[in-house]
Amino acid sequence: MRLVSLIPSATEIVDFLGLKDYLVGRSHECDHPLDIQTRPICTQPKFNPIGTSREIHDRVDCILQTALSVYQIDTEILQNLRPTHILTQAQCEVCAVSLADVEKAVANLTQSHPQIISLQPNVLADVWADIQRVADVLGVSADEAISSLHQRIAACQMWTQDLPEDERPTVACIEWTDPLMAAGNWVPELVQLAGGRPLFGEVGKHSPWLEWDAFLQADPDVIIFMPCGFDILRTQQEAAILAHRPGWSSLKAAQTYQVYVTDGNQYFNRSGPRLVDSLEILAEILYPKRFNFGYHWSGWRLLVD
């Protein structure tokens, strides 16, 4: 068995199932666990990823006017790796190479005929189903691994599920800062499990763009930044820029120091097993006197830390 993963969440699923040693290739964004970075890289972005949030957005938007994906596959490397399976996704054209591009690349391979496993999660149940499906295709059991995730979720939910609605803080999760975008898909579900009331994003639906005035009018109790693809230091920089916009200082969250930055790239943006880590991060942020899983500083920080 020779596996190539073209999306970080799939790489983490393979590792979670104990199959990391079978990975022979990865995407340029696959970086967890750390030792996976020795594997050959099979993808590259078609745009310069260095720049402001607005510049990156505009470059991506420009490419998507004429292409299915903002990434490209190195078919020569893929040919040499001779994979038996390729893991990819069909959920977001900005997250990884498109399924159509992968199918085209596979059709051109002459030394192997790999099976494509395409993930398309929108809610947490889809993520657990994807883990099970990968396990089934690769011939291993996922029962114990998935059970461990549910046990951790239950540990949070045991305390938060009975919280009255009026005691739950309203939470704005920000997935991009310029233009402004709220987090959707599984993130609102994570907020609910952690004992909050999600604003803007809806469970199972793609992340929505936000108008600044609508953001100010909602006046969230808690603001959590989790930009797609940014680590915690870059997120801190982007949040600080947004905090200089007119009206920011009038927000309840700003006045009560309930503004947080997270490592969205490692946690919230990846639809794999570490979404449970993301839930624990949210629980720590929203109820610090109740939960302490040890993510402070490495996974999340106060904006003013």
Residue with token string 């051109």: 108
Task: Indicate the pTM of the whole model.
Answer: 0.95
Asked if 175 and 210 count as a contact pair (C-beta separation under 8 A), the reply is no
Those residues whose C-beta lies under 8 Å from the C-beta of residue 50, and which sit 6 or more positions away, are none
Those residues whose C-beta lies under 8 Å from the C-beta of residue 151, and which sit 6 or more positions away, are none
Provide the CATH number for the domain formed by 163-302 in this structure. 3.40.50.1980
3-state helix, strand, coil in the chain (%, to 5): 40, 15, 40
CA distances from 105 to 17, 83, 141, 252, 273 (A): 26, 12, 30, 50, 28
Is domain 3-144 in CATH 1.10.510.10, yes or no?
no
Dist. CA 214–CA 174, nearest whole Å: 13
Residue with token string 């893929």: 78
Q: In this structure, what token pair is assigned to residue 65?
A: 């006017």
CATH topology of 3-144 equal to that of 163-302?
A: yes
CA 15 to chain centre: 17
What does the domain layout of the chain look like in residue ranges? 3-144, 163-302
Asked if 172 and 200 count as a contact pair (C-beta separation under 8 A), the reply is yes
| Per-residue pLDDT in tens (0 to 9) along the chain, 305 residues | 999 999 999 999 999 999 999 999 999 999 999 999 999 999 998 877 888 899 888 887 888 787 667 788 999 999 999 999 999 987 666 666 778 888 888 888 878 899 999 998 999 999 999 999 999 999 999 999 999 999 999 999 999 998 999 999 999 999 999 999 999 999 999 999 999 999 999 999 999 999 999 999 999 999 999 999 999 999 999 999 999 999 999 999 999 999 999 999 999 999 999 999 999 999 999 999 999 999 999 999 999 86
